[in-house]
Structure 1
Amino acid sequence: MIRRATPEDVPALVGLVYDLAEYEKARHECALTDEQLHASLFGPDPKVFAHVAQRDSGGEVLGCAIWFLNYSTWTGTHGIYLEDLFVTPEARGLGLGKALLTELAREAVANGYRRVEWSVLDWNTPSIEFYDALGATPQDEWTGYRLTGEALTRLAAR
């Protein structure tokens, strides 16, 4: 079962984000709090959205997709940027990851969005194989950049 996240799901979502950070060998970089995610998802002007996966209605949250809108000047339309997709190890193989991505594809099509995009670590072979099987295509010609920490502060001060 896939559904939009509710405020009651926030602790489970934060736990899944930390589990994903652990899987990606970067738990020490994760600082998300329940309060931050709640404000982002359910504040007065939300800019972040989430879906959760459960085996059945009312059951434990076993996976999530956390996403936000991006925009393409080339197509003149919004798209979905999938920030986090995670399914607990014990629930992998049940089709929950595919169901979450299917729901995001439905969201995109229903709203006239032209893309669903995400990033994957180059060593994450199981995820890459999963995405390839869905028909997703890697964007090898692009290199991602990020300004953060001291470099961000230094540039902002110019």
Structure 2
Amino acid sequence: MSTLRTARPADVPVILQLIHDLAVYEREPDAVRTTAESLGDALFGDRPTIYAHVVEADGQIQGFALWFLNYSTWEGVNGIHLEDLYVRPEARGAGHGKALLAALAAIAAERGYARVEWSVLNWNEPSIRFYENLGATNQTEWSTFRLSGDALADVAALADSAA
């Protein structure tokens, strides 16, 4: 029997380990800079900026969903951006991923949010099939852009002269 629940502060070390496991799965094993302290503060600090749900089975957390609110200017309401969804490989196929996504969909529906959305790596065919089987659609007309590292610093430096 499994239990789906909102994450608690004591879950932070396990969620952090699952984030590392996800990074390995996504072929970026050295990319995680998050610490237990920064994750705990973002989830449970004075001004939380992210939320998480976990699914437990056999007394152990088997997977998690980490998310935050976004906003659609066209719809005029919030939505949920799913940053990470991960289920341990040995626990896949038991419905944990579906339960986590269903919980987020229920939150969105209950609160009147317009959507739940996320990104998936193009090569991740098992996840793409899983999402499509749930009725999710690939937003192929959109591309994701990112400023980070030196490019972020360079654009930030323009702030003083941009006004």
Tell me the TM-score normalized by structure 2: 0.94
Deviation string, structure 1 residues 42-95 (Cα, Å, up to 9, x no partner): 011111000001115xx1111000000000000000000000000000000100
**RMSD of aligned Cα (Å):** 0.7
Within a 5 Å distance, the mapping from 1:5-24 to structure 2 comes to 5-24=7-26
SS at match of 2:109: helix
Distance in 2 (CA, whole Å) between partners of 1:46 and 1:110 is 21
- Give, as a single letter, the amino acid of the residue that structure 2 aligns with 1:91: A
Distance in 2 (CA, whole Å) between partners of 1:143 and 1:157 is 25
Alignment match of 1:44 (pick from 35, 43, 46): 46
Residue aligning to 1:83: 83
Residue aligning to 1:148: 148
Structure 1 outlier segments of 4+, above 6 Å: none
Deviation string, structure 1 residues 3-51 (Cα, Å, up to 9, x no partner): 0000000000000000000000012111111000000000111110000
Distance in 2 (CA, whole Å) between partners of 1:111 and 1:12 is 29
- Give, as a single letter, the amino acid of the residue that structure 2 aligns with 1:108: A
Distance in 2 (CA, whole Å) between partners of 1:81 and 1:96 is 19
- Give, as a single letter, the amino acid of the residue that structure 1 aligns with 2:74: W
SS at match of 1:29: coil
- Give, as a single letter, the amino acid of the residue that structure 2 aligns with 1:17: I
Residue aligning to 2:161: none
Distance in 2 (CA, whole Å) between partners of 1:45 and 1:64 is 21
Tell whether 2:5 aligns with 1:25: no
User: Mind listing any 5+ residue stretches in structure 1 that lack a counterpart?
Assistant: none
Distance in 2 (CA, whole Å) between partners of 1:119 and 1:155 is 24
Distance in 2 (CA, whole Å) between partners of 1:15 and 1:107 is 26
Within a 5 Å distance, the mapping from 1:104-143 to structure 2 comes to 104-143=104-143
Aligned length: 156
- Give, as a single letter, the amino acid of the residue that structure 2 aligns with 1:61: I
- Give, as a single letter, the amino acid of the residue that structure 2 aligns with 1:103: A
Identity %: 55
